[in-house]
Structure 1
Amino acid sequence: MTKKSIARNFLKLAASGHSHEAFRLYTGENFKHHNAYFKGDANTLMLAMEESSRTNPNKIFEIHHVLRDGDLVAVHSHVKQNSSDSGVAVVHIFRFESDKIIELWDLGQPIPKKSINENGMF
């Protein structure tokens, strides 16, 4: 399985309420993340992802681009909490050791109702 596939599968599992499985299958022992709203360990982020899925059972997660550069993979996606939500454009950056995710950054930008940019965010 490629690093791009691992990153894709990790996010799809986590977004669909299977964060425990995502972490069990795809993260390394020394995993850390950089989300400013949670402690930097795997368990805290896994539980936050689980809570998000429970709170938003109709979440829509669509991947638009996956890029790889060495041990880094970036995933550009559209996350909507439900079908009426405009959502957020999100970029997840994964760092790998072998075939395990050991570090994660995530950045998001809310999608405005009206945009002056005719190209959109995707």
Structure 2
Amino acid sequence: MTGTLTQAERNKQTVLAFYQAAINDKQFAGARTLVGDHYRQHNPRIADGVEGLREFVDTLRQDFPRLRAEVKRIFAEGDHVVAHVEGVRVPGGPATAIVDIFRFEGDRIVEHWDVMQAVPGESRNANGMF
């Protein structure tokens, strides 16, 4: 690949940086630089806007300081990025399978959707969720 990234690749890198800043490091300041001024949230437990993001990051830092998210797959098309993520609130604890969808305007995340499912202890197949 040449030295310049496509917009889709830049968007994927922004989402990865967002996970690191907001979820893994729980640092709002780092996450803030990656979202637009008008951040629309579709997760019903998180308020709209930059202030809603700040409250979410603060809650994670307080309630789940060791929570980690690991992106297993990431896809980009047009102004959207989709990530398949394994989230673990407490090391050694149960995992959650997450699909996050982000919409971009320019180089900033401006909208977010997610769906989450607990990873069960037993499965009727050997494929795993990741």
- CA distance in 2 between counterparts of 1:59 and 1:36 reads 20
Paired residue for 1:115, among 105, 118, 123? Answer: 123
Map 1:44-55 onto structure 2 (within 5 A).
44-55=52-63
Partner of 2:46: 38
- For the aligned residues, what is the CA RMSD? 1.4
Question: Whose radius of gyration is greater, 1 or 2?
Answer: 2
Paired residue type of 2:45: Y
Partner of 1:3: 11
- CA distance in 2 between counterparts of 1:82 and 1:96 reads 31
Paired residue for 2:98, among 72, 78, 90? Answer: 90
Map 1:60-99 onto structure 2 (within 5 A).
60-99=68-107
Gap regions ≥5 residues in structure 2: none
Count of aligned pairs: 121
DSSP-derived class of the 1:52 partner: helix
Partner of 1:14: 22
DSSP-derived class of the 2:37 partner: strand
Q: Which aligned segments of 4 or more residues in structure 1 are displaced greater than 6 angstroms?
A: none
User: Residues 48-100 of structure 1: CA distance to partner in whole angstroms, max 9, x if unpaired?
Assistant: 22211222122122110110011000111101011221210111111001101
- CA distance in 2 between counterparts of 1:49 and 1:90 reads 17
- CA distance in 1 between counterparts of 2:38 and 2:30 reads 17
TM-score (norm 2): 0.86
Q: Is 38-47 or 85-94 further displaced after alignment?
A: 38-47
- CA distance in 2 between counterparts of 1:74 and 1:18 reads 22
